[in-house]
Structure 1
Amino acid sequence: MVTIDAPVELQGTEYCNYRSPLSTRYASKEMQYNFSDQKKFSTWRKLWIYLAKAEKELGLDITDEQISELESAIHDIDFAAAAEHEKKVRHDVMAHVHTLAERCPHAAPIIHLGATSCYVGDNTDLITLKHGLDLLLPRLAAVISRLAKFADEYKSLPILGFTHLQPAQLTTVGKRASLWLSDLIMDERALSRARDDLRFRGVKGTTGTQASFMQLFKGDSAKVRALDKRVAELAGFEKRYLVTGQTYSRKVDLEVVAALSGLGATVHKMCSDIRLLASRKEVEEPFEASQIGSSAMPYKRNPMRSERCCALARHLITLHANAANTHAVQWLERTLDDSANRRITLAEAFLTADATLLTLLNICQGLVVYPKVIARHIAQELPFMATENIIMAMVQAGGDRQVCHEKIRVLSHEAGAQVKQHGKDNDLIDRVKKDAYFAPIISQLDRILDASTFIGRAPEQVTEFIEEEVDPIVSKYACVLKEAEKPVTLNI
C-alpha cells in the first residue's frame, strides 16, 4: 500500500485537500453558494419553520415563541456540533435536528414534527434547482443578446460555407452566428420549461402516503391536504407533486440535467466552430494584451476560452447518463443509492453550466472578425463556385452551353492542379480571361465574382430571425439583462 504524506507544515491546510476546480477556478460565487452547506442547512431550518407555521395554523399545539426561536437560528449553524452528532447517529438529518434542538430548546419538541428526512432533503433540492435555474437563465439570455448584436453586425459579410468540412456555397458571418443563436434559443426554452415545471414535494411522509400527518391531525384528510398546500406556498411554490414515493421522482432531476446537458452540446458545437475559424484566422475569441498562448511558441494565439468551454461542456454532456441511470434504478418507493450520486451530479451540472456560460459570455463580448482574411479565402474558392454563373453568362451572350461547360471543366481541372499539386493560388479566372472564347463576358467577370451575390437571403434571414425569435427572448429578460451583460472577467 502506497502512503502519500503531505509535508508536516502543510498538513491540515486547504492545499492538502482535494478542491474542485469548479469552485477554485470556474464557477461563480453565486452558484457556489447555491450548492453550499450554509445554503443547504439554512434551507432545512426554513423548511422546519414552514412546517411548524402551517401545523400551528391548522390547529396543532405550537407556539409563536417556539417559531420565533427557530427563526432566530436560521443561519446560526454550529457545523462542528452537527459533524459530531453525525459521527454518532450516522444520519445527516437527525444530526441537524439535534444541533438545532440544542440551539432552540423550547422549540425542540416540534422540530421535524411528522416529517421524514426527505421532507427537508428533497424539498431543499427542489429549491436549489429552482434557484440554480434562476441564476443560469439570465446568463444564457445575456449570451443570446450579445451574440444577436454580433450576428446583426455581420449579417451581410460573406464567408465560405462548409459542408463535410469542405468549402461549399458562401454564407455570411452573421448567418453562421444565427445558427448558434438558434440552438441557444432552444436551450432557453428547455431551461425555462424545466424551471416552470418544477413543483414542491411538500409533506408526504415516509412512503408518500402522508400517514404520519393523518395521525397528527386525527384522520382529518382535509387538514393534511391543506398542510401540504400551505407549506408549498410558504416555500414559494404554486404547485406540488400530488403523488410521490419517499422522494420526488428522480425523473425530475433527469429533466433538469437533460436541459443542462443539451446546453452543453450547444456550447460545444459553437465553440468548436470558433476554434475552427480561429485556425483559419477568420474569427477569434478575445485575446488579452499580456496573454501567453504557448510557453514554447510566443507567436501562438490559442483559443483557450473556447477550449475551456468545450472541456466543460463535454463533462456537462456526460452527466445526463448519471441522472438517467439514477432514475432507472429507484426501486419501488425509493432506494438510497441515489444519494451519493446526486450530491455530485446535480451540483456539478449546475456549476459546470454556470462556468460554461460565464466563459461563453466573455467570448461573445469580444469576438474579433478579420474581413481581409475571409476575403482572401473566398477568392481562393469562389472561381470554382462561379463556374455555373460564367456558363449562364456565356449562354446569354450567344454561346453553346455544352461547349462552354467543357471549356470551363478543362480550365477548372488545370487550375485545381495548380492549387493541389503545386501549392499555387487558384488561377481559374486568369485562365478564363486569357481564353478568347470567353471574350464576350470578360467585362462581366467582376460582377459575376462579387461575393455578395452568392449569399442568397442570408442577411434578410438574420434580420427576420432576430426580430421574430431572438428579440422576444431578450425582452423577456429585459429587467435583468443590464446586470447579466456586465463585462465578464474570467478566473484563471
Structure 2
Amino acid sequence: MAANGCGGGQAADGGEMDVHNTYRSPLAARYASPEMAFIFSDAHKFQTWRQLWLFLAEAEQKLGLPITDEQLEEMRANLHTIDYKMAADEEKRLRHDVMAHVHTFGRCCPKAAGIIHLGATSCYVGDNTDLITLKKAFDLLLPKLARVISRLADFAAEHAGLPTLGFTHFQPAQLTTVGKRCCLWIQDLCMDLARLARARDDLRFRGVKGTTGTQASFLQLFEGDHEKVEELDKMVTQKAGFRRAFIITGQTYTRKVDIEVLSVLASLGASVHKICTDIRLLANLKELEEPFEKQQIGSSAMPYKRNPMRCERCCSLARHLMTLVMDPLQTASVQWLERTLDDSANRRLCLAEAFLTADTILSTLQNVSEGLVVYPKVIERRIRQELPFMATENIIMAMVKAGGSRQDCHERIRVLSQEAAAVVKQEGGDNDLIARIQADPYFGPIHGQLEHLLDPSSFTGRAAQQVEKFLQEEVRPLLKPYEGQLAGKVELSL
C-alpha cells in the first residue's frame, strides 16, 4: 500500500478474499458485460464522487472563492488513487459513507482537504453520481438494443415471403410469413428503443442544491449573491455533461425519476420475454431454433434434446427485470417531506440490478438473433396439414365461377372436411381433404385448379409487402443514429 494512504485494489478489510466463499451477484459474476458491471462498481462510483468534488471546486474558484490552482491540481492528480481500506475504516468509525470518502480524499490531498465538499451535502455526490451512472448505463444499452433490432430486421427481410402457419390462442389460424411474425417482435423493440432514448435524454442533473434543496449554504458562501449561486449550479451541471438541472429538489432529486427509468427497462423486459417465449414455442414445433453449439448438451439424461436455454435465460431474467419497477414505485411514495433515508439501501439494489439484467438479456438476445435457424420443410408440412381447411372458401368460389351452386358446394365440402378431420384427430393420420375432393366427381370442373388454389403464398395477403415497408420506413431510420455501433457479434461464455 502506498505510504500516503492512496493505494487501492484490496478487499475492504485489507485482506485477500476467496470469491468462492462468499455470495456474489450472478448478474455481475455470471451474466452481465464487464462494461455494465464497471458502471455500477465501487471504483466508478467513488471516482465519480471525486470528479464531482473537483467540478464543484473548479466552479467555486472561477466564481471567486479562495481556492488555489495548487489545490485543484492536487485533486486532479488523485481522482483514481482511492484507498478502499482507509475508506472502509473511516466509514466504520463515522457511520457515513460520504464523509468517509471526504476524509480519504483529503488524506491524498492535504492542501485541498479543507475545500473538498465545500457547501455541499451528501446527495451532491450521491444523487449526481447516480444520475451520471444512469446516463452512462443508457448509453451502453441503447446500441445493444439497436444491434438486436438490426439483426432481427435482417432476419425479417430474408424471410419476408416465407409462408408459415399463424396462430391465435396458439390454435392454427390464417397464414402469415416468418418475416412478418419477426416484425411483430421488432415493432415492440423499436418502441422500447425510442422510450429508452427518451428516458436517457430526459435525465436532469440534481446539481448544486444544498441540504434541503434551498441552496442556502451556497448563498452564504457567495455572501447573498443569487446570480453566482445560479451560475455555480449551471457550471457544474455542464461540467458533468448534462444540458439542464432540476430547479426544484428536496435533499434528493425526485425519486419519480427512478420510476421512469425502471419503467422503460421493465417494458423492455416484457418485450424480450414475449419474443423469447415465441421462439421457445416455435422450437417445440421444430420450425425455428436458437443457436445450438456443437458440443452443447441439452439434457444430462436425454441426449437428443435441444433445449432453448438462451431464450429460457432471457425469460427468467426478464421476469426479474419486470418486477424491479415495484421498488422505485414504493420508494417514491414514502419519501417524507424533503427526504428520508429508507430509499438508500433499496436503490443500491434495484437500480444496478435493473441495468445489469437488461444488459444481460440484450446480449443474450443478440446472440440468439444472430443464429436463428429456420426449418422450411417442417413449416411446409404443418401448412399442408392445415391449409386444406383454410382453402375451402377459395374452392367454393372457384366452383361457383365454374357454374356450381354455393350451397351445394358448401355442404359437400362440410361433409368431406369433417371426414378428413376425423382422420387427423381420431386416427392420427394426415389431412386428406384434398385427396377426397380430387376423388369426388362433383369437383371435377376445378380439379386442375387445386394446385393453384392451395399455393401457400396466396394466403399470406400483404405480409411480404408490409415487412418491406415497415423495415424501410420505420426500422432503418430508427437505427440510423447507431450506424457506427451495429457491428460485432456476441459470443456467450455460458
State the TM bucket, normalised to the shorter chain.
over 0.9
Amino acid at match of 1:77: I
Amino acid at match of 1:462: V
Q: Is the 1:271–1:306 Cα contact (8 Å) retained in structure 2? A: yes
TM-score, length-scaled by structure 2: 0.96
- 2:493 corresponds to which residue? 491
| Pairing 1:57–2:57 present | no
Amino acid at match of 2:426: Q
Q: Which runs of 5+ in 1 are unaligned?
A: 1-10
| Pairing 1:351–2:356 present | yes
- 2:166 corresponds to which residue? 161
Amino acid at match of 1:227: L
- 1:342 corresponds to which residue? 347
- 1:291 corresponds to which residue? 296
Q: Shift of residue 474 of structure 1?
A: 1.7
Q: Is the 1:412–1:428 Cα contact (8 Å) retained in structure 2? A: yes
Amino acid at match of 1:229: K
Q: Is the 1:152–1:462 Cα contact (8 Å) retained in structure 2? A: yes
Amino acid at match of 2:256: K
Q: Is the 1:274–1:306 Cα contact (8 Å) retained in structure 2? A: yes
TM-score, length-scaled by structure 1: 0.97
> Following the alignment from structure 1 to structure 2, what is the Cα–Cα distance between the partners of residues 268 and 157?
24
- 1:228 corresponds to which residue? 233
SS of residue in 2 equivalent to 1:477: helix
- 1:404 corresponds to which residue? 409
Q: Is the 1:322–1:345 Cα contact (8 Å) retained in structure 2? A: yes
- The alignment yields a C-alpha RMSD, in angstroms, of 0.8
Correspondent of 1:370 among 370, 375, 383: 375
Q: Shift of residue 238 of structure 1?
A: 1.1
- 2:266 corresponds to which residue? 261
| Pairing 1:126–2:128 present | no
Matches within 5 A, 1:93-492: 93-482=98-487, 486-492=488-494
Structure 1 segments (4+ residues) deviating >4 Å: none
SS of residue in 1 equivalent to 2:165: strand
CA distances 1:213-250 after superposition (whole Å, capped 9, x unpaired): 01101111110000000000111111111111100011
Q: Is the 1:31–1:351 Cα contact (8 Å) retained in structure 2? A: yes
SS of residue in 2 equivalent to 1:159: strand
Q: Is the 1:31–1:354 Cα contact (8 Å) retained in structure 2? A: yes
Q: Shift of residue 461 of structure 1?
A: 0.1
Q: Shift of residue 321 of structure 1?
A: 1.0
Amino acid at match of 1:67: L
SS of residue in 2 equivalent to 1:170: strand
Amino acid at match of 2:320: H
Q: Shift of residue 432 of structure 1?
A: 0.7
Amino acid at match of 1:257: L
- 1:37 corresponds to which residue? 42
> Following the alignment from structure 1 to structure 2, what is the Cα–Cα distance between the partners of residues 421 and 332?
69
> Following the alignment from structure 2 to structure 1, what is the Cα–Cα distance between the partners of residues 18 and 271?
39
Q: Is the 1:380–1:425 Cα contact (8 Å) retained in structure 2? A: yes
Q: Is the 1:26–1:491 Cα contact (8 Å) retained in structure 2? A: no
- 1:6 corresponds to which residue? none
CA distances 1:416-473 after superposition (whole Å, capped 9, x unpaired): 1111111111111111111111111010000000000000000000000000000112
- 1:8 corresponds to which residue? none
> Following the alignment from structure 1 to structure 2, what is the Cα–Cα distance between the partners of residues 206 and 243?
13
CA distances 1:71-119 after superposition (whole Å, capped 9, x unpaired): 1110100000000000010000000001011111100010000000000
> Following the alignment from structure 2 to structure 1, what is the Cα–Cα distance between the partners of residues 171 and 456?
18
> Following the alignment from structure 2 to structure 1, what is the Cα–Cα distance between the partners of residues 402 and 334?
73
Q: Which runs of 5+ in 2 are unaligned?
A: 1-15
SS of residue in 2 equivalent to 1:202: coil
Q: Shift of residue 12 of structure 1?
A: 4.6
- 1:46 corresponds to which residue? 51
Q: Shift of residue 491 of structure 1?
A: 2.5
Q: Is the 1:200–1:232 Cα contact (8 Å) retained in structure 2? A: yes
CA distances 1:51-83 after superposition (whole Å, capped 9, x unpaired): 000000000000010010011110100000000
Alignment: residue pair count: 479
Amino acid at match of 1:16: N
> Following the alignment from structure 2 to structure 1, what is the Cα–Cα distance between the partners of residues 302 and 402?
55
> Following the alignment from structure 2 to structure 1, what is the Cα–Cα distance between the partners of residues 444 and 331?
72
Amino acid at match of 2:275: M
Q: Shift of residue 479 of structure 1?
A: 1.9
Q: Shift of residue 323 of structure 1?
A: 1.6
> Following the alignment from structure 1 to structure 2, what is the Cα–Cα distance between the partners of residues 447 and 12?
72
> Following the alignment from structure 1 to structure 2, what is the Cα–Cα distance between the partners of residues 140 and 430?
49
> Following the alignment from structure 2 to structure 1, what is the Cα–Cα distance between the partners of residues 236 and 17?
42
- 1:3 corresponds to which residue? none
